[in-house]
Structure 1
Amino acid sequence: MQDKSSRDQYKRDWDTRFVSTTSTMDEDQCYYNETIAFFYNRSGKHLATGWNTVSRLVMGLGITVCIFIMLANLLVMVAIYVNRRFHFPIYYLMANLAAADFFAGLAYFYLMFNTGPNTRRLTVSTWLLRQGLIDTSLTASVANLLAIAIERHITVFRMQLHTRMSNRRVVVVIVIIWTMSIVMGAIPSVGWNCICSLKSCSNMAPLYSNSYLVFWAVFNLVTFVVMVTLYAHIFVYVRQRTMRMSRHSSGQRRNRDTMMSLLKTVAIVLGAFIICWTPGLVILLLDVFCSSCNVLTYEKFFLLLAEFNSAMNPIIYSYRDKEMSATFRQILCCQRQENVNGTVAEGSDRSASSINHTVLGGGVNHHHHQHDHSVV
C-alpha cells in the first residue's frame, strides 16, 4: 500500500501528464471506453497486478463468509415462512431485512470474484454493476430497518404488540423499499458518476463522483440518527409506562421485562448495523473533505466489517429469540412445525411463545395476540 505522500505526488504527476496530453480535448469529454486502470491510476489507488498468498487467503475467507451469509439469512426467511407464529407484519419486514442481507451476500460474492487483479478485467459498466449491487443491498437494509423502527413506534404508542397493518400494505411497503434501493444503486450507472468529469472522481471509488458519495453517506447517516431517535423515544416511553403500571400491580413486572426484551432485540440489530456501517460511511466523507487523510489504508478493513454485518442478524435472532432458534433447529433437523390444531410438534420450544398480551396495557386484543414472541 502506498503511503499518503507518495500517492498524492503520483496523482499530481499523473494529472500534469494528463493535462499536457489532453489540452486540446473537450473538457466535457467522457471516458466510457477507457480501462479501469485508467481511472485507478488517476486516483492514485493501488491496483494489484497479480495474486499473492494474502490476497488468496482474503478471497477464500470472503467467499466462505458470503456462503454463510446467504445460507443463514435464507434460514431466517424459511423460519418466518413455516412458523405461523411469525405471520405478522413486523416479521415480514424482518424477513425482508434477511432478504436484503441475502442479496448483500450475493453482492459480496460477485465482488470477491471481481476484486484484486481481476479488477483490471472489468469494463466501466461491470465495475459500476459491482458497486451498484453493494449500494442496493445497503439501501435495502437501511430502508427495512427504518420501516421496522416506524412500525415499532406506531404499535408501542398505540399499546399494541403487533400492528394491524394488512398484508397488502406490507407488500406495498416491501415493493417501495426494493424500488428505492434499486434506484439508489443504479444512479451512478445512469449518469451520476465522474466518467465525464474526471476532476470530481473519488479516490476510494475511482469512477464515482464525490458529490454522489457525499449524498449517499449523508443520507444513510441521517437515517441512522432518525432510527436511533425513534428507538430512544420508544425506550423512554415504555420504561415510564411500565414503571407506572408496576406500582399498581406486581404482576406487571414480568410484562415490563418482556417488552424491554422485545425492544432490545431489534435495538441490538440496529446497533450492530450502525456499528458495522458507520465507519465506512464516515471514511467516504473523509475521502472527499480530508485531503491529508490516508483513507485507502483502512478501506478494506471497513468493507470487511460491513460484510460481517450481513451475517450477524441470524446470530442475534438465535441468541435473543427462543422461538426463532427453536424453529431454526426444527428446519435443520427436518422436524415438522405445527399440526392443523396448532399443537407444536416434538422438539419445539412451546414456552418461548407464551407471552402475555398485557405488555403495554391490559385488555389489548387478547384473542388477537395469543402467540407473541421475544422479538419485536
Structure 2
Amino acid sequence: MMAILRASKAAPDLLDLQAIPLRKKLWSYSQDHTEHFLEVVHQLTFKMDGQCYYNETIAFFYNASKKHLATEWNTVSKLVMGLGLTVCIFIMLANLLVMVAIYINRRFHFPIYYLMANLAAADFFAGLAYFYLMFNTGPNTRRLTVSTWLLRQGLIDTSLTASVANLLAIAIERHITVFRMQLHTRMSNRRVVVVIVIIWTMSIVMGAIPSVGWNCICAIKTCSNMAPLYSNSYLVFWAIFNLVTFVVMVVLYAHIFMYVRQRTMRMSRHSSGQRRNRDTMMSLLKTVVIVLGAFIVCWTPGLVLLLLDVFCEECNVLAFEKFFLLLAEFNSAMNPIIYSYRDKEMSVTFKQILCCQRQENINGTVEGSDRSASSLNHTVLSPHNNDHSVV
C-alpha cells in the first residue's frame, strides 16, 4: 500500500519532467515572431497531398514559399509606393494621349496605327493594373483574400499578354506590307477590329488561367517563391511562351531588314518619289522596332527571373524582384516618349491636343524630318498618288 502511495506521488513529478522539453520548445517559439510559429505548424500539414487551402490567409502561402511579407510601412516602402503611383498616373495619361491622337488625326487611320493605338490601350490597362497593385502591396497584401490576390496578379498578366500579342500583330502586319511592297496593308477596318478582339480575348484568358485552376492552392509544394499562389508549371509555361514570342518577332524584323536592304541596293537609282516611299516605310519600321526593343529589354529580365525561381534553388531571386517589376512598369511609359521622338507629326498632334487647338490645325502641313514616318504619309497616300509601292 505504501509503495502504491509513493508511486502516485512520484507520478506528477515524472510527468513534469517529461513536459519540460515540450515547455521549453513552446517557450522558444513564443519568443519568435508569430508567423514563424505558424509556419512550423503549417509545414506539418503540407504532407497531406491533395488538400486545398482556399480558406487560408495570404500569410499562409507566403510562409509556405518563404517569401517575406511586410507587417508595416517603412520609409522605403512609402517611397516606392509614391513613385509607383506617380508612374502609373503618367502611364495612363500618356497612353490616353496616344489613343486620342490616332483617333483625331486622319493620317493615322491605317491598320498599323490602329494596332499601335491598341498597344497604347494595353499600356493604359497596365497602368491601371499597377495602380491597383500599389494599393494592395506591402503590408496591405495581408488583407487580400485568395481571390483578390489572384485578381491582382491576373490584371498584370492580362496587360502583358495584350502588349505581347499587339507587338506580334504589328510585326506580322509589317512583314506582310513590306513583302507586298506596300506602305500600309489593305486590311479592312472590320478585320482590324477582329484582330483586336482576338488579342484581348486571348489576353483575358491567359490572365484568368491561374484563377480558374492552374495554381498551387491544392498542391502547396509546387508554389513559386516569387508568386506564392502560382504554380511553378504555370510560370514556366508563361515565361517560355513570352520569350518564344519575343524570338519570333526578332526573327520577323530581321527578315524584313535583310529584305529591305537588298531591295535598296538594287533600286538605289530609282526616282526620288520611290526613295521617299522607302524612307517613309523604313522610318515607321524603325519606330516599331524601337518599341519592340524597349519592351524586350524591360520584360526579359523579369521572365528570366521567373525561370530561375523555378530551376535555381540557390539563386536569390527575391532580392531582384522589385527592381525588375519597376523596370517592367516603366516600359508602359516609354512608348509615348518613343512616338514623340521618332514621329514628328505624332509629336505635333500631342502638342495640339494639349493646347486644345482645333482639328484642322492638327491635320495641317507639318514639315518633315528624317525621323518622321507619318509626316510623309499625306504625300504618299494622297488621292493623287495611288502607288503604294515602297521600293
TM-score between both structures, scaled by the size of structure 2: 0.84
The residue aligned with 2:218 is: 196
SS at match of 1:127: helix
Amino acid at match of 1:366: N
1:367 has 2:386 as partner: yes
Q: Structure 1 stretch 252-261 or stretch 109-118: which is displaced more?
A: 252-261
* Mapping of residues 198-217 of structure 1, within 5 Å: 198-217=220-239
Deviations along 1:29-82, one digit per CA (max 9) or x if unpaired, are 100000000000111101000001111011000000000000000000000000
**Structure 1 residue 17: Cα displacement:** 4.8
State how far apart, in whole Å, the 2-side matches of 1:178 and 1:46 are: 34
Amino acid at match of 2:138: G
* Mapping of residues 140-155 of structure 1, within 5 Å: 140-155=162-177
Runs of 4+ in structure 1 over 6 Å off? 11-16, 356-359
The residue aligned with 2:137 is: 115
- In structure 2, runs of 5+ residues without a counterpart are 1-34
State how far apart, in whole Å, the 2-side matches of 1:158 and 1:369 are: 10
**Structure 1 residue 354: Cα displacement:** 2.8
Query: Structure 1's 206 and 136: CA in aligned 2 closer, same or farther, altered over 3 A?
Result: same
Query: Structure 1's 152 and 29: CA in aligned 2 closer, same or farther, altered over 3 A?
Result: same
SS at match of 1:367: coil
Amino acid at match of 1:196: C
The residue aligned with 2:337 is: 315
1:70 has 2:92 as partner: yes
The residue aligned with 2:321 is: 299
State how far apart, in whole Å, the 1-side matches of 2:302 and 2:367 are: 41
Percent identity, aligned pairs only, is: 84
Over the residues paired in the alignment, what is the CA RMSD in angstroms? 2.6
Is the 8 Å Cα contact of residues 102 and 310 (structure 1) preserved in structure 2?
yes
**Structure 1 residue 27: Cα displacement:** 1.5
State how far apart, in whole Å, the 2-side matches of 1:32 and 1:106 are: 27
State how far apart, in whole Å, the 2-side matches of 1:368 and 1:126 are: 54
The residue aligned with 2:4 is: none
* Mapping of residues 347-362 of structure 1, within 5 Å: 349=366, 351=368, 353-355=375-377
- For the pair shown, which has the larger CA radius of gyration, 1 or 2? 2
State how far apart, in whole Å, the 2-side matches of 1:316 and 1:128 are: 32
1:132 has 2:182 as partner: no
1:95 has 2:112 as partner: no
Is the 8 Å Cα contact of residues 93 and 148 (structure 1) preserved in structure 2?
yes
**Structure 1 residue 16: Cα displacement:** 6.6
Query: Structure 1's 220 and 12: CA in aligned 2 closer, same or farther, altered over 3 A?
Result: farther
**Structure 1 residue 14: Cα displacement:** 8.2
Question: Residue 275 of structure 1 is aligned with which of 297, 318, 324?
Answer: 297
**Structure 1 residue 243: Cα displacement:** 1.3
Number of paired residues? 350
State how far apart, in whole Å, the 2-side matches of 1:307 and 1:116 are: 17
State how far apart, in whole Å, the 1-side matches of 2:377 and 2:113 are: 16
- In structure 1, runs of 5+ residues without a counterpart are 1-10, 360-364
**Structure 1 residue 349: Cα displacement:** 2.2
Query: Structure 1's 314 and 29: CA in aligned 2 closer, same or farther, altered over 3 A?
Result: same
Amino acid at match of 1:349: V
SS at match of 2:268: helix
State how far apart, in whole Å, the 1-side matches of 2:380 and 2:98 are: 28
Question: Residue 288 of structure 1 is aligned with which of 294, 306, 310?
Answer: 310
**Structure 1 residue 221: Cα displacement:** 0.2
